[in-house]
Amino acid sequence: MISAAVSAPTETKTKRRKIPAYLVRETIDGVEFYYPGFRQVLNKQKKLDEIMGDSGLQYFLKLYMYDVLKAGLDQKKFRVGSGELGFHASVRNNMGLDVVIFDRAQLTPDKITPRYVTVAPKVVIEIDVNVELPDRNSDLFQEYVIHKVENLFKNGVEKVIWVFTKSKKVFVALPDEPWQMDDWNKDVPLFENVTVNVATYIEQEGFKLE
């Protein structure tokens, strides 16, 4: 069981140099989280497009979740999406979401525009932690994962599922219940009787995790 009571992250006391806005991946309560590898871009060791993409495993796990939800949910009632949806939750809160389930009655066609979506999904599924902070010693689980989950709940999301591929764990959070962390070889309920088993999918596909 994981406690949801965590204080908001603190920014580093000193900043060696200003980090350009184009390296910001998400902003939560005004705290900027950067693309992994942003230091290499600043040091001209990498180009921006070299740090922005998903790994192959992340991409196909997103696709797996999307395909299962698309097949299992009533498409007249729900919208399912995957990729990197921009969600403008509120002032100083702009987040990227991997896989989402929306109620069609809430996300009506007039609310889908060239801008970030402002309607909260019912469910958010995240794959791994794809951000960094200037402080190399930052505890990203505390400062990013828990902070983001709490912020999503505050802005109307009803459930968050987070898959961690290194530890082979799945984290499931509901606003008014104890948050759970389990091995990814267990069946995970996503929404409306739709379940997934990450380990089984990876085994069936023959993906190599080394």
Q: Tens of pLDDT along 89-135?
A: 999 999 999 999 999 999 999 999 999 999 999 999 999 999 999 88
49 contacts: CB under 8 Å, gap ≥ 6? none
List the chain domain ranges. 55-205
| CA–CA separation, 126 and 63 (whole Å) | 12
- Specify the CATH architecture of the domain 55-205: Alpha-Beta Complex (3.90)
Each residue's pLDDT tens digit, 1-21 = 454 444 444 444 434 568 899
State the sign of the Cα–Cα–Cα–Cα dihedral 59, 65, 71, 74. Answer: negative
**pTM of this prediction?**
0.89
